């Protein structure tokens, strides 16, 4: 009987994980497919007049530990701002090459732009949101070093991402900024989960008052954390301390960098309820932030073009305000 219960919980968790991964993939594909007229501004094709891309610099021993640098044609300035953009993919898929357009747009504005790959989770390698965030942290000194070898002295940076990349961007900006090789000036992201509470992940059935639901929550969040979570500490202050390493909102304080974030009210991939913790923390700590809620959209923000346009306009506004091109 005990084995049957454990097997049932395992099947439920497996279904949650498959749903999570598949939904992330659909969300990313939808966003790529939707190209409203206003978005053409941000879909830049890199030319020699704009700059060049240098690919696959190594920052670690892992096969995936690679990054690309998009450097502007204007290489005569005293210093440059760096903008890092981290790819989406549910922590299990995706590649820096998928963000070539936005990286090229950032380069066209005069920034050195970087797309960083990280080791994706598989059923065998045990990688997690935490291990991926530590890879991103370890990459930053190398990104700055290689940019400077190319003749671009970096004196400040911003970090950004979408979906899974948004979570990793928040963790670097909120948790790791003090260790950055150059000052972090701002962060922007869309639809990245910043919290891992059962009550918020109701779209996966993890909020139910059942042993199966609680165990599945402990298992799924344990996979994301990279270490086992005792089911008995869920919904307690002790759980907050355990899950804090991957809960971006918990690191927000009065010194947190300005932020621009966007979420879809009908998101069934990154549960919409997770956005409330992020927004409340930014507000309570008097952080300069802008929050955009897409009332008719899911993970791809596909049904609210105007809101998504406003989000991108705010990204540009904050870049100009906090990291203007000199």
Q: Spell out the residues 6+ positions from residue 145 whose beta carbon is closer than 8 angstroms to its own.
A: none
Q: Spell out the residues 6+ positions from residue 2 whose beta carbon is closer than 8 angstroms to its own.
A: none
Percent above pLDDT 90 for the chain: 86
pLDDT of residue 37: 84
pLDDT of residue 5: 42
- On whether the pTM is more than 0.85, the answer is yes
Under-50 pLDDT residues of the chain: 1-15, 18-19, 21-34
Domains of the chain: 5-200+212-322 (3.40.50.1820)
What are the residue ranges of helices labelled H in the chain? Answer: 2-33, 100-108, 129-149, 164-170, 211-225, 237-243, 274-284, 305-322
pLDDT of residue 39: 87
Q: Report the candidate in 267, 263, 270 with the shortest Cα–Cα distance to residue 129.
A: 270
pLDDT of residue 326: 80
pLDDT of residue 36: 79
- Is 192:164 a contact under the CB 8 Å cutoff? yes
What's the CA gap between 121 and 204, in Å, rounded? Answer: 20
Torsion on CA atoms 66, 70, 71, 73, rounded to nearest 10: 150
- Is 187:158 a contact under the CB 8 Å cutoff? yes
pLDDT of residue 20: 52
Maximum Cα–Cα distance for the chain, whole Å?
Answer: 72
Q: Quick one: angle between helices 129-149 and 211-225, nearest 10?
A: 20
- Summarised one tens digit per residue, pLDDT across range 5-48 is 443 444 444 445 544 544 444 444 344 444 778 888 888 999 99
pLDDT of residue 33: 46
Beta-strand relationship, 184-190 and 80-86: unpaired
- Tokens 């594909």 -> residue: 29
- Summarised one tens digit per residue, pLDDT across range 154-195 is 999 999 999 999 999 999 999 999 999 999 999 999 999 999
């Amino acid at each position: 009987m005990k084995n049957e219960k454990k097997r049932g919980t395992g099947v439920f968790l497996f279904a949650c994980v498959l749903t999570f991964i598949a939904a992330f993939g659909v969300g990313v594909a939808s966003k790529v497919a939707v190209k409203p007229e206003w978005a053409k501004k941000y879909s830049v094709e890199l030319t020699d007049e704009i700059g060049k891309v240098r690919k696959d610099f190594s920052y670690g021993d892992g096969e995936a530990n690679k990054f690309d640098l998009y450097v502007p044609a204007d290489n005569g300035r005293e210093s440059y701002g760096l903008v890092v953009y981290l790819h989406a993919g549910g922590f299990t898929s995706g590649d820096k090459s998928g963000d070539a357009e936005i990286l090229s747009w950032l380069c066209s504005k005069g920034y050195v732009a970087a797309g960083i790959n990280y080791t994706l989770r598989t059923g065998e390698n045990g990688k997690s949101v935490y291990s991926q965030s530590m890879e991103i942290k370890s990459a930053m000194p190398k990104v700055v070093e290689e940019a400077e070898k190319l003749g671009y002295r970096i004196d400040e940076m911003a970090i950004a991402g979408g979906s899974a990349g948004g979570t990793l961007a928040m963790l670097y900006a909120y948790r790791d900024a003090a260790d950055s090789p150059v000052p972090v000036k701002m962060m922007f992201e869309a639809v990245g989960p910043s919290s891992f509470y059962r009550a918020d992940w109701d779209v996966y059935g993890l909020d139910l008052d059942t042993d199966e639901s609680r165990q599945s929550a402990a298992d799924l969040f344990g996979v994301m954390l990279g270490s086992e979570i005792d089911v008995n500490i869920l919904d307690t202050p002790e759980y907050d301390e355990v899950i804090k390493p991957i809960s971006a909102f918990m690191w927000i304080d009065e010194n947190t960098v300005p932020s621009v974030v966007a979420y879809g009210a009908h998101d069934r991939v990154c549960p919409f309820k997770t956005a409330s913790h992020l927004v409340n923390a930014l507000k309570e700590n008097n952080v300069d932030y802008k929050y955009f809620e897409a009332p008719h959209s899911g993970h791809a923000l596909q049904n609210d073009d105007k809101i998504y346009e406003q989000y991108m306009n705010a990204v540009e506004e904050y870049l100009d305000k906090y990291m203007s091109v000199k």
